[in-house]
Amino acid sequence: MLLTMFALLFWGAVFFIIYTYFGYPLIIWLLASLKRSRVDYPDYFPTVTLLIAAYNEENDIARKIENSLALDYPTGKLQILIAADGSSDRTPDIVRQYEARGVELSFVPERGGKMAAITRAITFSARGDIIIISDANNDYDSQAVKHLVFPFADPTVGVTTGAKTILEDGRHLSSSEGLYWRYESQIKSNETKLGTCVIAVGEIIAFRRAQFSPPQQKIINDDHYLVMDFIHKGYKIIYTPAARSYEHVSKTALDEVVRRTRMNAGLFQTIFMSGKFLPFNRPFVVWQIISHKFFRAFVPFAMILALVSNMLCVLLSPYSSTRLMPATLSTAALIGQVLFYFAALLGNVFKVGGLLGKLLYLPTFLVNSNLATAKGFYSFLTNRQQHIWQRVQR
């Protein structure tokens, strides 16, 4: 009886992981394949505010401004606004050097976090009908703004988001991160075909200014909040992969864990706020949000459950038996899990070149990502992750 219970826990955990990473994307792909390939939006040129969040970005802000000034969008309809609240370096001074070229600065010395800086800039300085949020460490393709705003010709569209492209630099971390974002791109493309995607990236996200509602509490992830708020209001979120943003991955795997820990603390904040944001009158969208966004947060706990329950099955197999988990299968599954985590450990310690090295790094990337999720959960529970973020090197 005890062995059967642990076997059920093991298979339940395995099914949860497989569904989250492969089952949901497969179902979405199958459903999307029944829809027409794409929607062609007409050329549409509303006024736009490109709002760049830049806290202590003196090393990158000039490059980002030059990239923004080179964007292909009608003259007079694109406002470039830098939100540099709390910056203690030369970021505000560098921005002021571009005032003659039309670049504007939103700045107060006090630091209130990214969402607070964005909200203040929108409230007092932004003039565009469409707001595009960007960071200082990414560059846009010259056509990115056009591709982001064309879907707003449809009044049911509230938010658009573009493709995050990782610039590969020969490191396995950049290769794995790039593969992950291509995987995410496919899911969001299929979700969009079905009506709305449910995840956006904060580096390239656009929304209607008139429908923006400032958050009532300190938000960690602005992109999570914007998506959930607009979905709750009945709008569609459209993924536009032709709007491309380019950036480098973090300098080290440890830096990436730090960055993802903050993101996942924000994800848990979103989950615990979801009671007032989930669109219960649209059950299909609720299923999408739970499957694509919320389930990811609980994968590390399913991984732990799969390992522990598998170990207990092996320990109990000499004294009992169950058709759910024969002794040979239980042993083979445990060996597989141990090898997987051992490969992840090796990937953090040793660097192997070539295709083999990239394949061996995948377990490392998956384990590090889920470790960051678990740390994010702890940070959220203990209130250690603040809405004010810390920069990581890229």
Q: Tokens representing 191?
A: 């979700």
Give the number of other CB atoms < 10 A from CB of residue 216: 8
When pLDDT is cut at 50, 70 and 90, the band that residue 229 belongs to is very high
128, two tokens:
């565009």
Antiparallel, parallel or unpaired: β 48-53 and 78-83: parallel
What pLDDT band is residue 356 in, cutting at 50, 70 and 90?
low
Backbone angles phi, psi at 21, to 5 degrees: -85, -30
Which helix (H) or strand (E) element contains residue 165? strand 157-166
Residue 71: name the closest of 62, 79, 60 by CA.
Answer: 79
Amino acid (1-letter code) at residue 241: P
Q: What is the pLDDT of residue 37?
A: 67
How many CA atoms does the CB half-sphere of 82 hold within 13 Å? 33
How many CB atoms are closer than 10 A to CB 171?
18
Which DSSP symbol is given to 35?
S
pLDDT digits (tens, 9 = 90+) for 242-272: 999 998 876 566 666 677 787 788 888 888 8
pLDDT at position 324 is: 86
- Residue 101: exposed, middle, or buried by beta-carbon count in 10 A (0-12, 13-18, 19+)? exposed
Tell whether the model's pLDDT for residue 361 goes beyond 80.
no
Taking residues 120-134, what's their average pLDDT?
Answer: 96
Q: How many of the other CB atoms lie within 10 Å of CB of 281?
A: 8
Per-residue pLDDT, 387 = 47
Q: Which pLDDT does position 5 carry in this prediction?
A: 93
| Percentage of residues of the chain with pLDDT beyond 90 | 63
Q: Of 237, 62, 219, which is closest to residue 157 (Cα–Cα)?
A: 237
pLDDT digits (tens, 9 = 90+) for 55-106: 999 999 999 999 999 999 998 999 999 999 999 999 999 999 999 999 999 9
Tokens of 151: 């879907």
Given pLDDT bands bounded at 50, 70 and 90, which one contains residue 343? confident
Digit-coded pLDDT (tens) for 25-69: 999 999 999 987 677 899 999 999 999 999 999 999 999 999 999
CA atoms within 13 A on the CB side of 326: 4
Residues of the chain with pLDDT > 70: what percent? 90
Residue 225 clears pLDDT 80, i.e. is over it: yes
Mean pLDDT check: name the lowest of 123-127, 158-162, 373-377: 373-377
Predicted pLDDT of residue 348: 75
Alpha-carbon gap, residue 89 to 82, rounded angstroms: 14
Cα angle value 358/253/294 (rounded, 5°) = 90
Distance CA 277, CA 109 (A): 33
Q: Output the pLDDT for position 85.
A: 93
Question: Taking residues 230-248, what's their average pLDDT?
Answer: 94
The answer on pLDDT for 172 being more than 60 is: no
Instruction: Note the pLDDT of residue 35.
Output: 82
Helix then strand count (H, E) for the chain reads 13, 8
Q: State pTM to two decimals.
A: 0.88
Would strands 205-208 and 157-166 be described as parallel, antiparallel, or unpaired?
antiparallel
Tell me, what's the pLDDT at 153? Answer: 96
Tell me the C-alpha distance between 394 and 391, whole Å. Answer: 9
- Mean pLDDT to the nearest integer, 285-298: 95
State the DSSP code for 248.
Answer: P
